């Protein structure tokens, strides 16, 4: 049917120019708003100052207005005496008297310099002789000392801000200083946001198997707001062509830009692009050589941009920033966005698809020498957290297939700048680590956690790229956890133990041996290289039950598979099993410890971590309550098989 549209997959730039040629991308009309409502808006016109700032010659100190020449030659040893005028100049009042030669007038910071005076001597350099009403000046002052002359900050008629500027508090402060009570700003582009998909439910509703919370809708509506637009969120729509057509009409009537997400690929039920086809001129580009983002669909209706973003959240937000945000900037009369980037070494070898420009989300950490290392977030375009946790992204050109570990890459920063990190944690994820991270943050440390698994965490520690690597690696030869993997440059902070066991749904009451022996049951395995897999293989011996090849990568995935009936039994940790409502049969405890590179052991946040993990600490008690028991005797694993 319409799948042939994918045959013409364009380069990013070619796609953008073809699309823009069909759009009317002028700045929208201006509107005047009160200054207090101007934050985040974009100036429609250049702003010229109608006044001088300051508007008068202003004293910058508490002291005395004098004629500088009267102080010449004054010193601690030979002060000069001036007659005090019978006036004190506060702020906000025009002075009455002239400062005649040989006289001085008391003046406050911010006070208006009186006629005759050309300098201020601060009160610290003076004494007052009350008897004679004379000022004793103990230092010479140059003309202009401690005075801001009128118009030195902003001169009347000067252009202080230019059209196209997005107003932050720095700019609204300037506008206030020149007395602008109202400001001409560009009308916010109204952007209709529609999610599509039969599987979507609104956040706040109850989850059911197979459904997905609509994250794109919220994310895109708020991204519109962040970009200076006004989102009109029209909700999540069913995959139904008439429904979509109707909603699209409504959106086009109400909005300057229409953004849909989902339903743009070739799958059955992907109908969004068909609803867009009927527009004039309709679809201009369907398929761009990007990863993530290939199925994006760029369309127009009488000059109005209409976009269908791919449904996967990371794809949706990337393509929003690639294609929609620049359009919003044009409608707001803003210049192209400037990117901030840094150089970093890629931490792990990464494969990329030839023929597509790939955007690789990365987290950044610093090694001891201050050099940056970039860790791919590694969760794929279906992930929402990759985007929210990444520091930036690397563009991998369409001609490149492999970027080797250690190769230098350019990282475009997502936040525009890179925040410093007090404690970089790289390794295996566990909700116990979340408790530890929270405790550190409560003590004022900034913590960055890159969940890359035990082995990559250990490598990071060996390279000195993290402060701590949480690991749970079972050495098959010795049967010991973690300690066999250390070297002289690494130290181990004892963590906690997590009980691993065989899980089933609650109504299955038989013991482990019976489950293993029942050929009607289907198991769920774990990925090779995980400690749990070694445990499972030990348990099974030569047996290969149905489901042995089903190898999800996390304790949570195992629990979900059993809870949802894709498998009947598997091995996971107790906390996860209990949270999923599964029956748990203890096998043995797994040691989850913290590897610290000695080169970074002196850092304050590492000391704080050490304190937090001390025996009998409050955090230890909290961990125990969450199901993570302390077992400080590192190697003596209690096997309860
Ligand atoms: P689609 O582009 O419709 O084929 O969707 C691709 C994937 O993205 C599917 O797994 C969808 O469930 C998911 N998805 C689509 N729309 C949304 C959304 N609004 N929020 C979260 N996930 C979504
Ligand atoms: Mg869909």
Which is the closest atom of ligand 1 to the Cα of 261? Answer: 16
Distance CA 311, CA 194 (A): 11
pLDDT of 387 above 90: no
Which is the closest atom of ligand 1 to the Cα of 272? Answer: 3
Residue 393 Cα to ligand 1 middle (Å): 22
CA 261 from chain centre, in angstroms, equals 22
Which is the closest atom of ligand 1 to the Cα of 315? Answer: 8
Which is the closest atom of ligand 1 to the Cα of 267? Answer: 4
Do 144 and 80 contact (CB within 8 A), yes or no?
A: no
pLDDT tens for each residue of 252-295: 999 999 999 999 876 677 788 888 988 999 999 999 999 999 99
Do 431 and 453 contact (CB within 8 A), yes or no?
A: no
User: Which of the residue ranges 237-241, 387-391, 503-507 has the most confident prediction, judged by mean pLDDT?
Assistant: 503-507
Q: What angle do CA 118, 122, 124 make, to 5 degrees?
A: 155
Which residue in 224, 222, 248 sits closest to 234, CA to CA? 248
Distance CA 483, CA 487 (A): 9
Distance CA 206, CA 638 (A): 41
Distance CA 349, CA 344 (A): 14
Residue 75 Cα to ligand 2 middle (Å): 83
Residue 555 Cα to ligand 2 middle (Å): 28
Residue 272 Cα to ligand 2 middle (Å): 9
Mean of the pLDDT values across residues 244-252? Answer: 96
pLDDT of 501 above 50: yes
Q: Which two tokens stand for residue 278?
A: 């009927």
Mean of the pLDDT values across residues 370-383? Answer: 85
Mean of the pLDDT values across residues 539-547? Answer: 95
| Residue nearest ligand 1's atom 6 by CA | 311
Residue 492: what are its φ and ψ, rounded to 5°? -115, 120
Mean of the pLDDT values across residues 533-538? Answer: 91
| Ligand found nearest the CA of 221 | 1
Distance CA 217, CA 195 (A): 6
The pLDDT confidence band at residue 7, using thresholds 50, 70 and 90, is low
Residue 547 Cα to ligand 1 middle (Å): 28
Phi-psi region of 311 (alpha: psi -120 to 50; beta: other; left: phi over 0): alpha
DSSP-derived pairing of the beta strands 357-366 and 290-291: parallel
| Mean pLDDT estimate for the chain | 93
- Strand partners of residue 42: 166
- For a pocket test of ligand 1, which of 193, 197, 267 has the largest count of ligand atoms closer than 8 A to its C-beta? 197
Which residue in 455, 480, 422 sits closest to 609, CA to CA? 422
- Strand partners of residue 191: 231, 257
Residue 312 Cα to ligand 1 middle (Å): 5
Question: Which residues surround ligand 1 with Cβ inside 6 Å?
Answer: 195, 197, 199-200, 212, 214-217, 261-265, 267, 270, 310-313
Residue 195 Cα to ligand 1 middle (Å): 8
Do 188 and 228 contact (CB within 8 A), yes or no?
A: yes
What pLDDT score does 6 carry?
A: 61
Q: Which two tokens stand for residue 400?
A: 């490149």
Neighbours of 406 (CB within 10 A): 12
Three-state DSSP class for 273? Answer: helix
Phi-psi region of 613 (alpha: psi -120 to 50; beta: other; left: phi over 0): alpha
What pLDDT score does 640 carry?
A: 30
Which is the closest atom of ligand 1 to the Cα of 310? Answer: 2
Distance CA 496, CA 617 (A): 13
What pLDDT score does 1 carry?
A: 41
| Ligand found nearest the CA of 312 | 1
DSSP-derived pairing of the beta strands 341-346 and 408-413: antiparallel
Do 191 and 93 contact (CB within 8 A), yes or no?
A: no
Do 10 and 289 contact (CB within 8 A), yes or no?
A: yes
Distance CA 424, CA 367 (A): 10
DSSP-derived pairing of the beta strands 469-471 and 490-504: unpaired
C-alpha to C-alpha distances, 322 to 340, 409, 559, 585, nearest whole angstrom:
15, 20, 37, 50
Q: ω before 413 within 30° of 0 (cis)?
A: no
Mean of the pLDDT values across residues 480-508? Answer: 96
| Residues lying with their CB under 5 A of ligand 2, a single-atom ion | 197, 262-263, 311
Do 226 and 265 contact (CB within 8 A), yes or no?
A: no
Distance CA 107, CA 387 (A): 57
Which residue in 500, 515, 513, 472 sits closest to 558, CA to CA? 500
The pLDDT confidence band at residue 628, using thresholds 50, 70 and 90, is very high
Which residue in 225, 306, 224, 304 sits closest to 264, CA to CA? 306
Mean of the pLDDT values across residues 404-415? Answer: 94
pLDDT tens for each residue of 39-87: 999 999 999 999 999 999 999 999 999 999 999 999 999 999 999 999 9
Do 457 and 466 contact (CB within 8 A), yes or no?
A: yes
Q: Name the more confident of 270 and 140.
A: 140
Which is the closest atom of ligand 1 to the Cα of 215? Answer: 20
HSE at residue 471, side-chain half, CA atoms within 13 A, is: 29
């Amino acid at each position: 049917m319409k799948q042939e549209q994918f045959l013409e997959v364009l380069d990013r730039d070619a796609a953008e120019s073809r699309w823009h040629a069909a759009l009317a991308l002028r700045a929208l009309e201006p509107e005047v708003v009160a200054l207090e409502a101007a934050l985040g808006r974009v100036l429609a016109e250049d702003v010229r100052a109608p006044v001088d700032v300051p508007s008068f010659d202003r004293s910058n100190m508490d002291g005395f207005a004098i004629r500088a020449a009267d102080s010449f030659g004054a010193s601690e040893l030979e002060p000069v005496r001036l007659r005090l005028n019978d006036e004190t100049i506060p702020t906000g009042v025009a002075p009455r008297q002239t400062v005649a030669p040989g006289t001085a007038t008391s003046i406050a910071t911010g006070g208006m310099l009186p006629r005759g005076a050309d300098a201020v001597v601060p009160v610290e350099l003076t004494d007052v002789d009350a008897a004679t009403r004379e000022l004793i000046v103990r230092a010479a002052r140059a003309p202009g000392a401690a005075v801001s002359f009128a118009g030195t900050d902003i001169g009347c008629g000067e252009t202080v801000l230019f059209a196209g500027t997005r107003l932050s508090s720095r700019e609204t402060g300037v506008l206030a200083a020149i007395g602008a009570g109202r400001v001409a700003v560009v009308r916010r582009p109204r952007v209709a946001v529609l999610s599509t998909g039969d599987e979507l439910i609104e956040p706040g509703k109850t989850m059911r198997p197979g459904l997905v919370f609509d994250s794109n809708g919220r994310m895109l509506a708020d991204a519109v707001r962040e970009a200076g637009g006004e989102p009109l969120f029209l909700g999540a729509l069913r995959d139904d062509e008439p429904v979509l057509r109707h909603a699209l009409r409504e959106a086009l009537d109400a909005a300057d830009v229409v953004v849909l997400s989902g339903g743009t690929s070739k799958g059955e039920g992907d109908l969004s692009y068909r609803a867009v086809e009927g527009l004039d001129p309709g679809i201009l580009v369907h398929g761009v050589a990007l990863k993530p983002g290939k199925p994006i669909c760029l369309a127009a209706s009488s000059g109005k941009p209409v976009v269908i973003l791919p449904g996967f959240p990371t794809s949706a937000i990337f393509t929003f920033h690639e294609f929609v945000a620049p359009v919003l900037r044009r409608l707001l009369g803003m210049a192209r966005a400037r990117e901030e980037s840094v150089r970093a070494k890629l931490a792990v070898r990464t494969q990329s698809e030839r023929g597509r420009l790939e955007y690789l989300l990365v987290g950044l950490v610093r090694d001891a020498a201050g050099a940056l290392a970039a860790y791919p977030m590694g969760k794929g375009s279906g992930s929402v957290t990759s985007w929210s946790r990444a520091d930036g992204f690397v563009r991998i050109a369409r001609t490149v297939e492999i970027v080797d570990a250690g190769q230098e890459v350019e990282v475009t920063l997502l936040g525009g700048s890179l925040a410093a990190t007090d404690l970089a944690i790289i390794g295996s994820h566990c909700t116990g680590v979340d408790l530890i991270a929270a405790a550190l943050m409560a003590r004022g440390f900034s913590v960055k956690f890159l969940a890359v698994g035990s082995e990559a965490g250990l490598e990071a520690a060996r390279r000195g790229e993290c402060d701590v690597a949480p690991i749970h690696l079972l050495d098959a030869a010795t049967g010991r956890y973690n300690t066999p993997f250390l070297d002289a440059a690494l130290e181990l902070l004892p963590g906690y133990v997590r009980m691993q066991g065989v899980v089933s749904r609650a109504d299955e009451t038989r013991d482990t041996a019976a489950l293993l022996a029942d050929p009607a049951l289907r198991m769920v395995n774990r990925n090779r290289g995980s400690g749990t897999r070694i445990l499972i293989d030990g348990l099974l011996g030569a047996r290969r039950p149905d489901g042995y090849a089903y190898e999800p990568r996390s304790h949570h995935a195992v629990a979900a598979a059993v809870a949802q009936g894709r498998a009947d039994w598997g091995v996971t940790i107790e906390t996860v099993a209990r949270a999923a409502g599964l029956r748990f049969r203890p096998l043995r405890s797994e040691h989850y410890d913290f590897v610290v590179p000695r080169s970074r052991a002196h850092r304050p946040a590492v000391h704080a971590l050490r304190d937090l993990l001390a025996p009998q600490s409050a955090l230890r008690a909290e961990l125990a309550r969450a199901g993570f028991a302390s077992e400080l005797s590192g190697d003596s694993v209690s096997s309860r098989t």
